[in-house]
A and B are shown apart, each in its own frame.
Chain A
Amino acid sequence: MTVAEFVARSGYTVFSEGEEREIESGYCGDFLSNIISRATDSCAWLTVMNNVNVAAVATLIDCACIVLCENVAPDDALAARAKQLGLWVLGAKENVFEAAKTVAKLCNV
């Protein structure tokens, strides 16, 4: 499922848009070194981190989208950097566990 299709189905907030691409897996985490070591390409990365370093890490791992969980919104620096880099940043009201279930169910990953 593409990110845009996932947005339409999940009803998640869109903070920033990127190019259309498929969500092929998921990864949950907040420690950036763990994420860059373990997350896979084209994943949906679920986190509650919302600072500008999230954009750098998302670029490194080449994730399909960032999902900020638990009503977290990107801070100003992340919002600006994500727009500049063309990164999908979504927002979920659910906690990380529930959001992961949503990603798994809708994207069949």
Chain B
Amino acid sequence: MNECIRLEYDVDGENFASAGHASESVKRTLKQMGVSSLSVRRVAIAMYEGEINMVIHAHGGRAVAEIYPDHIDIRLEDHGPGIADISLAMQAGYSTATENIRSLGFGAGMGLPNMKKYSDDMQIESTVGEGTTVKLRVDFEE
């Protein structure tokens, strides 16, 4: 029961074009495993938002996914500036993204709220000046 499929990805902080690579790979793997399309979508959205956050705010980072028969654990770790006020960052519509980032379609202030919405458990550990780790768990529906 403890056996899992472990997938690891480097998220390139300088490259918006490759953002989504990790979530796309996990999505493909879950589909191949026969996980329901609703669960696959929840995982893909939560993880994509995490990837984008790492690209926008933290110059990249590392994403690790551990897939179990009934759920997935995702850890998104960066060494960016950290989040000073997590409760503020969790508010829908709050964003520190620059105008340039907004022009690409990001910065709606929905990244963290979407990650929470589409996961069954979400924990954020962040230290200003050191980085942020977000842990997500998504349970697969029957």
Q: Cβ of B34 < 8 Å from any Cβ of A? A: no
Q: Interface residue count for B (Cβ, 8 Å)? A: 23
User: B interface vs A, CB < 8 Å?
Assistant: 16-17, 19-20, 23-24, 27, 41, 44-45, 48-49, 52, 104-111, 114, 117
Chain B residues contacting A96 (CB-CB under 8 Å) are none
A interface bracket (residues with beta carbon within 8 Å of B): 10 to 19
User: A interface vs B, CB < 8 Å?
Assistant: 30-34, 36-37, 49, 51-54, 56-57, 59-60, 62, 77, 81
Which of B19, B24, B45, B104 is within 8 Å of A36, CB to CB? Answer: B45
Chain A residues contacting B117 (CB-CB under 8 Å) are 37
Chain B residues contacting A49 (CB-CB under 8 Å) are 104-105
Known contacts being A37-B117, A52-B16, A52-B17, is A32 close to B106, with CB within 8 Å? yes
